């Protein structure tokens, strides 16, 4: 028997390791959709992994006024939409439908990167009517998700805030925040920083079951 021949007739594993969602849910804002109802080509290998795509976008604004009374922040900014951490319970999944994508697998595989965010923030802070109150980074998605390691937009936003003495709040699950210790320390000394870290679990066994994501090593 040749090497691997014994596995030839085993069912193809379609589980998407490293992902929270396993399929795309319907976007309620999109009228038409295409679906695959039956998988007939039983000999076809089904792709079990879904690679992350980074999509550059250029929004007109970066700071949002938060109107919701149940969220403890007045303003927020999100350098990325979608979040590769892919927590299945994430409330930001539903907001991803506004961008025309699914709240399921799309949310954690199609990451929108707001390339012009630092320029927009600078313009916003220079507005004569702006009276500094804290702006929350990660109001919707995690600003230290894996995309940050490639694009460093959160870092650039912090540098702008530091320059303008703009108070900032941060909430993250990712240890990558430590890469910005220098600027964060400067801001902390000026008392314009509040940083919160969400720790998934201290239970090593539980964490080993939770290795949904390739970036897990970076998640606290
Ligand atoms: S890290 Fe936060 S923003 Fe990202 S998927 Fe998890 S809960 Fe949502």
User: Does residue 29 surpass a pLDDT of 70?
Assistant: yes
Q: What is the 3-state secondary structure (H, E, C) of the chain?
A: CCCCHHHCCCCCCCCCCCCCCCCCCCCCCCCCCCCCCCCCCCCCCCCCCCCCEEEEECCCCCCEECCCCCCCCCEEECCEECCCCCCCCCCHHHHHHHHCCCCCHHHHHEEEEECCHHHHHHHHHCCCCCCCCCEEECCCCCCCCCHHHHHCHHHHHHHHHHHHCCCEEEEECEHHHHHHHHHHHHHHHCCCEEEEECCCCCCHHHHHHCCCCCCHHHEC
Give yes or no for residue 38 having a pLDDT over 90: no
User: Domain for residue 118, yes or no?
Assistant: yes
pLDDT of residue 201: 76
pLDDT tens profile 146-185: 999 999 999 999 999 999 999 999 999 999 999 999 999 9
Which tens digits make up the pLDDT trace of 195-212?
A: 999 887 777 777 666 555
Residue 29 lies in a domain: yes
Q: How far is the CA of 114 from the centre of ligand 1 (A)?
A: 17
Mean pLDDT of 81-92: 93
The better pLDDT of the pair 12, 30 is held by 30
**Position 219 in a domain:** no
Label residue 20 by pLDDT band (50, 70, 90): confident
219 Cβ inside 6 Å of ligand 1: no
pLDDT digits 0-9 by tens, 95-108: 999 999 999 999 99
Instruction: Identify whether 23 is part of a domain.
Output: yes
Domain membership of residue 220 (yes or no) is no
Give yes or no for residue 169 CB within 6 A of ligand 1. Answer: no
The confidence band for 44, taking pLDDT boundaries of 50, 70 and 90, is low
pLDDT for the residue 4: 44
Distance 140 CA to ligand 1 centre (A): 8
Number of domains in the chain: 1
Per-residue pLDDT band for 217 (boundaries 50, 70, 90) equals very low
Nearest CA to ligand 1 atom 3: 141
Over residues 83-88, mean pLDDT: 92
* Position in ligand 1 atom list of the atom nearest CA 141: 3
In a domain, 51, yes or no: yes
Decide: 87 in ligand 1 pocket, CB within 6 A. yes
> Would you say residue 139 lies in a domain?
yes
Which range of residues forms the domain containing residue 142?
A: 3-214
Task: For residue 18, tell me if it sits in a domain.
Answer: yes
């Amino acid at each position: 028997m040749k090497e691997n021949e014994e596995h030839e007739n085993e069912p193809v594993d379609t589980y998407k390791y490293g992902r929270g969602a396993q399929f795309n849910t319907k976007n309620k804002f999109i009228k038409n959709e295409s679906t695959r109802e039956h998988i007939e080509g039983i000999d076809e290998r089904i792709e079990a992994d879904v690679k992350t795509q980074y999509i550059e976008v250029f929004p007109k604004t970066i700071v949002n006024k938060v109107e919701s009374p149940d969220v403890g922040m007045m303003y927020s900014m999100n350098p990325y939409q979608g979040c590769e951490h892919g927590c299945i319970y994430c409330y930001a999944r539903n907001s991803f439908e506004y961008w025309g994508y699914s709240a399921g697998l799309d949310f954690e595989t199609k990451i929108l990167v707001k390339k012009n965010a630092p320029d927009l923030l600078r313009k916003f802070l220079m507005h004569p009517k702006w009276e500094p109150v804290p702006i929350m980074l990660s109001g919707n998605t995690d600003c230290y998700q894996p995309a940050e390691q490639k694009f460093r937009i959160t870092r650039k936003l912090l540098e702008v805030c530091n320059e303008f003495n703009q108070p900032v709040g941060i909430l993250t699950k990712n240890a990558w925040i430590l890469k910005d210790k220098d600027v964060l320390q400067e801001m902390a000394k000026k008392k314009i920083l509040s940083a919160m870290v969400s720790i998934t679990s201290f239970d090593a066994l539980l964490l080993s079951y939770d290795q949904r994501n390739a970036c897990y090593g970076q998640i606290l």
